[in-house]
Amino acid sequence: MRRGLSPTWLGFYAVVYLLFLYAPVILLPLFAFNDATIIAFPLSGFTTEWFEVLWTTDALHSAVRNSAVVASITAVVSTLLGACVARASARYRFPAQKGILGFIMLPLVLPEIILAVALIVMMMQLGLSLSLWTVIAGHILICTPFSIAILSSAFAGLDQSLEEASFDLGESRAGTFRRITLPLVMPGIISSLLICFTISLDEFIIAFFLTGTDVTLPVYIWSQLRFPTKLPSIMALGTILFVLSIALLVLAEMFRRRAARRQGQGASATEGFA
């Protein structure tokens, strides 16, 4: 290719940069399996003790349950809302379209602490007590824009003539949606569900402000970081979460590519960001 900035140096830089990106993550499994109560080098030996501790920590189990509930509901509702928006903006033209769309996407560019503060003030004023439901509401707010970003490429790539053909052949609107539209955008829907689930699972600031007595997993982790003796098991927990997130991400990516293939587009790497 054309000569620009020297490719060799850029390649070298890219590798060093990747090392920087991976530096903290590599430590996670190292300390999770390390047979020592302090998080420091040199490593002393191999143990699965810290994983066993996790099995017997009840507070952790209820935090995991809470997070699973919050993340599942968030994923379903955000994807539903995201699908409405993506469909509306891909298929129809209506007044104030850009304004409405921009407003719904706003949480993407608001610092999370502002959202958290605004939501807690509203809850205080309405006299509502904080619970997992308030956390869910906050998470739906921040996940919907991500869902829209994923789904709008799925809905925009939808060939309208397929739906028209279905109408012409006598299918009802509902029947067309179920038999034509839904199967075509399904992979996008699944990918959106997985991404929203993952975001909600890891979200801390909103959960920290809006949680009541039931805590989510990140809030639990935050409370444990203060106790040095708890740290090795937190490393073990982090390792499990990491593996889980990667599995979900790989799944989401597979579905997104399948969606692109189904609509006859090449699965380019930039899709969904462009």
Partner 1 sequence: MTRGLSRESRQGLTLIGLPFGFALIMLAAPLAMVITFSFWTQNYLDIDRTLTLANYQEVFSQPIYQTLLWRSLRISVIVTVVTVVLAFPIAYYLSFHVKRNKALWLFLITVPFWTSYLLRVFLWKVILGYNGVLNTALLEIGLIREPLTFILYNANAVVLTLAHAWAPFAILPIFVALEKIDRSLLEAAEDLGDGPFRRFWRITFPLAIPGVVAATLIVLIPTVGDFITPRLVGGTDGLMIANMIQIQFGKANNAPLGAALAVTSMVVVALISIAIYLVGRKIGGRVAR
Interaction residues for partner 1, span 49-78 (CB under 8 A): none
Stretch that binds partner 1, among 18-26, 61-69, 164-172, 180-188 (CB under 8 A): 18-26
169 binds partner 1 (CB under 8 A): no
DSSP 58-122: HHHHHHHHHHHHHHHHHHHHHHHHHHHHHHHHHH---TTHHHHHHHHHGGGGS-HHHHHHHHHHH
Using N-to-C axis directions, what is the helix angle for 182-202 and 231-262, rounded to 10°?
Answer: 160
Residue 258 beta carbon to partner 1: minimum distance, rounded to whole angstroms = 14
Written as one letter, the residue type at 134 is T
36 binds partner 1 (CB under 8 A): no
Per the CB < 8 A criterion, the answer to whether 147 and 192 are in contact is yes
Per the CB < 8 A criterion, the answer to whether 256 and 267 are in contact is yes
Residue 58 beta carbon to partner 1: minimum distance, rounded to whole angstroms = 20
Residue 249 to residues 136, 152, 167, 245, 263, Cα–Cα distance (Å): 21, 19, 36, 6, 21
Closest CA to 60 of 243, 237, 232, 229: 237
Per the CB < 8 A criterion, the answer to whether 155 and 86 are in contact is yes
Nearer Cβ to partner 1, position 104 or 196?
104
Question: Under DSSP, is residue 34 helix (H, G, I), strand (E, B) or coil?
Answer: strand
- Subset of 181-220 contacting partner 1 (CB under 8 A): 198, 202, 204-205, 209, 218
Residue 165 beta carbon to partner 1: minimum distance, rounded to whole angstroms = 19
Position among 55, 56, 58, 94 found at the interface with partner 1 (CB under 8 A): 94
167 binds partner 1 (CB under 8 A): no
Residue 128 beta carbon to partner 1: minimum distance, rounded to whole angstroms = 12
Residue 161 beta carbon to partner 1: minimum distance, rounded to whole angstroms = 17
Stretch that binds partner 1, among 54-62, 120-128, 174-182, 186-194 (CB under 8 A): 120-128
Residue 62 beta carbon to partner 1: minimum distance, rounded to whole angstroms = 18
How many residues sit in the footprint of partner 1 (CB under 8 A)? 87
Residue 169 beta carbon to partner 1: minimum distance, rounded to whole angstroms = 21
Whole-angstrom Cα distance, residue 152 to residue 156?
Answer: 6
174 binds partner 1 (CB under 8 A): no
10 binds partner 1 (CB under 8 A): yes
- Subset of 96-115 contacting partner 1 (CB under 8 A): 97, 100-101, 103-104, 106-107, 109-115
- Subset of 123-152 contacting partner 1 (CB under 8 A): 124-125, 137-138, 140-141, 144
Per the CB < 8 A criterion, the answer to whether 173 and 91 are in contact is no
Closest CA to 197 of 15, 49, 67: 67
